[in-house]
Amino acid sequence: MTEQTDILIRGARLAAELAERGGDHLAAAPVDLRLSGGAIVERTAAGSLVPRVDERVIEADGLVALTGLVDLHTHLREPGFEQSETVLTGTRAAAAGGFTTVFAMANTLPVQDTAGVVEQVQRLGDAAGYATVRPIGAVTEDLAGERLSEIGAMAQSRAGVRVFSDDGKCVHDPLLMRRALEYVRTFDGVIAQHAQDPRLTEGAQMNEGSLSSELGLKGWPAVAEESIIARDVLLAEHTGARLHICHLSTAGSVEVVRWAKARGVQVTAEVTPHHLILTEELVRSYDPRYKVNPPLRREEDVQALRAAVADGVIDIIATDHAPHPVEAKECEWDAAAFGMVGLESALPIALLTLVQTGHASWAELERLLSQKPAEIGRLDGHPAALVPGEPADLVLVDPSGASAFGADRLRGLSVNSPFLGMELPGRVVTTIRRGALTLDDGELVPAEQVAARAAVAGPR
């Protein structure tokens, strides 16, 4: 069944029309949406569109519709680490989480530092069809921090790379950082910095403070993140280039970004779902599921990050989905890998920490998880809103009730989620990419079907 079926969504509430913080998700008037040929073709008051023969009808009463989620920070692990994740399995996790596009981080093997490798990753994404895959290019060759990679060749390649990052490592050399910023400015690219001074964090295992002393684990001071952000916003101002800061984790980082934005520096910032809820106290368990880079911080930091989302200092939520095989996580704390999976839990955690607490409205959530990351990544073909004429990339969410987040909710290869067993609100019910279902009533659409439809639609 490779043909594109038209879809009629009946009675959905649009997140964009739920602009009140703390408001009821049923406050907006329900609408019907008709999707055909990969686009939204009609939008009317609920009850006015009559189903056509062969049209798939989705009853969306009580559900909230958002433009497809976009993750600016996903580790897909292919090529090189296919025991952790592949482009196919990672994009299945994405579809299950409501994402229609993921930006794939460069720390693969070989590293995504040439046109050939980024094109390969994009091709794998196109073929799988569960999500649009936009590769991120490495800033430096082999992520070694010594020479700039082929930034221009990656930008001009078929992959059209616009986001560059050595994530997992910091671009520490200030001259290289300056040159990278100057280079990407010429084609409106952006450097996404993993802000971590390597000298201040040698051997670091958790947040530095009284708890790290108590637990006997080497600490990771907040200043290691904040000092790099301070330097880089000044370099961004000096070069006039766009800078994006990955995974802000401290209250001090928020203050530096706030200061830079007030000066007019072109800086944007992301926070991960886990830094919006988890604290260093969890490290007391020595359970490596809580080992992540940057580390879990203090409750004051969590609250500062939420407030920074509320007041716009933080622009987006990005998952930093970092899958690792069990052997890298079921071991002693010191030996364990840094990272957590996050694609499937991002929306529930954002609902819990931001929407239910009154820090963000549904409309702002759409901005944080879809519109703004697409804008920062200069993503073409992403719907600006759920209106006729726009591409049909969208997600339907059931916000009512809460349920235990079980292993059955994880659809990637790895299971290193810190949220397993937690009671979380919000179920992603349906994900539609380019007018075709990737998640249907909570179930992933079979891979052959998704791939066949993607082949008919062609690369984006």
Ligand X SMILES: NC(=O)N[C@@H](CC(=O)O)C(=O)O
**320 part of the active site:** yes
CB of 338 to ligand X, least distance (A): 3
- Dihedral pair phi/psi, residue 126, rounded to 5°: -60, -40
State CA 395 to chain mean position distance. Answer: 15
**Nearest Cα to 343, choosing from 161, 160, 133?**
133
List the interface residues with ligand X, window 319-348 (CB under 6 A): 320, 322, 338-339
Q: Please, which residue, 74 or 361, has the CB nearer to ligand X?
A: 74
Least distance CB 288 / ligand X (angstroms)? 11
Residue 174 Cβ, how far from ligand X at the closest point, in Å? 20
> Does 374 help bind ligand X (rule: CB under 6 A)?
no
Alpha-carbon separation of residue 368 from 40, 66, 373 (angstroms): 22, 11, 7
Check if the beta carbon of residue 186 is closer than 8 Å to that of residue 255.
no
Contacts of 136 (CB under 8 A, 6+ apart): 103, 104, 105, 106, 112, 161, 163, 164, 165, 167, 192
Instruction: Give the number of residues in contact with ligand X, rule: CB under 6 A.
Output: 11
Output the smallest distance, CB 270 to ligand X, in A: 12
Instruction: Report the residue from 75, 274, 298, 372 that binds ligand X according to the rule CB under 6 A.
Output: 75
Looking at residue 233, its amino acid is V
- Lookup: tokens for 88: 């196919």
Spatial neighbors of 282 by CB under 8 A, at least 6 apart, are 290, 296, 418
Among 107, 205, 361, 417, binds ligand X (CB under 6 A): 107
Of 84 and 132, CB closest to ligand X: 84
Nearer to ligand X, 32 or 167 (CB): 167
| From 113, 126, 315, 320, the catalytic residue | 320
**Listed residue (149, 144, 161, 165) closest to 73, CA to CA:** 165
Q: Write the interaction track for ligand X spanning residues 393-432; mark x where CB under 6 A is met and - where it is not.
A: ----------------------------------------
Residue whose tokens read 């409205």:
361
User: Does position 90 bind ligand X by CB under 6 A?
Assistant: no
Q: Per CB under 6 A, does 293 bind ligand X?
A: yes
Residue 330: name the closest of 282, 284, 288, 280 by CA: 288
Residue 273 makes contact with ligand X by CB under 6 A = no
| Residue 225 Cβ vs ligand X, minimum distance, rounded to whole Å | 12
Tell me: does residue 168 bind ligand X (CB under 6 A): yes
The answer to whether residues 145 and 169 touch, using CB atoms and an 8 Å cutoff, is yes
* Residues labelled as active-site residues: 320
Task: Enumerate binding residues for ligand X (CB under 6 A).
Answer: 75, 107, 167-168, 194, 292-293, 320, 322, 338-339
Residues making up the annotated binding site for substrate are 75-77, 107, 293, 324, 338-339
Residues making up the annotated binding site for Zn(2+) are 73, 75, 167, 194, 247, 320
